[in-house]
Amino acid sequence: MILSIITCGKNDEYAGNFLQRIQFNLSKLEDNIRELKTNQIEIIVVDWGSDKKLYDVLDTSKFQFTRFYHVPKEICSKYSPDSIFSYSKAMNAGYRRSFGDFVFFIDGDSYIPTQSFINLYNLIKNSDKLKTFYWASRYHIPLEIYQFTQDSLVLDDAISNWSLKKNSWRHEKISLNNFSGAAMGLLLSRNICEESTCWFEELNKWGWLDIELNARLSRRYTCLGDLEDINDSCFFHIDHHSIKWGGQSGGNQNIHANHFKANPDNWGLIEENLNLN
């Protein structure tokens, strides 16, 4: 397996329309993999404590490459009793059940156009498997572009028109010299995942996680760049900042792991038998 794409979510109306946003994300990823005609890419979704599983409420009828792992509420409360959602543990749980030589962590409401995905795949095929990591900047697809459609072709057309005037959508450009988070995704080799144990699991809530991980990775390795610049690709977040937030609350303290290997040996809920769909 060349690439594992790992994401997570929860069926709790996060910002009002999370189900729509993750449906766009997963459907587009599936289309992109079919376009490449490869069986060397997998998608893993970790569902953190949903009463009604994401797998049961999303349209997965055409999914071929996606596996859903559901974390029951009793396991969620066991590992993060002070938070209704743990991004760090969810992402790590996905990683520890993956098989790719490279791992791409993305948010549940990301969106990757086909050509950008092809560029990403070509980059991976020619990369050093040992010591590689990249961040990815993001543009935000406005609510008015997608809110009335369930068809990713509508988003593709909007992105094609947008590309002629790139200053029309909000752009969060990361700085590798002064990294402050807000990246669309993180691509890194499996070797680094194993050495670092990925996301710091003492951080159970929102924010700071990516800043902490970047600081830790940078102790040993140099980030090879922003994927937007490295392979001339654009990555997107399906914007929800104008929607009333719900479900998630609280933020992480700004603390760092004491060691490069941030987590104990049972990180990523590896001792738990998670339900697979």
Total of domains in the chain: 1
pLDDT tens digit sequence for 56-76: 999 999 999 999 999 999 999
pLDDT tens digit sequence for 85-142: 999 999 999 999 999 999 999 999 999 999 999 999 999 988 766 577 999 999 999 9
Cα–Cα dist 213/217, whole Å? 6
Cα–Cα dist 248/10, whole Å? 10
Q: What is the CATH number of the domain that holds 102?
A: 3.90.550.10
What's the confidence (pLDDT) of residue 146? Answer: 87
Nearest to 196 by CA among 134, 259, 257, 261: 261
Residues of the chain with pLDDT under 70: 128-130, 164, 245-249
What's the confidence (pLDDT) of residue 247? Answer: 57
Are 102 and 189 contacting, i.e. CB atoms less than 8 angstroms apart? yes
Cα–Cα dist 210/205, whole Å? 12
Cα–Cα dist 37/52, whole Å? 33
Cα–Cα dist 209/15, whole Å? 20
Are 84 and 247 contacting, i.e. CB atoms less than 8 angstroms apart? yes
Q: Which domain holds residue 139?
A: 3-276
Other C-beta atoms within 10 Å of 157: how many? 12
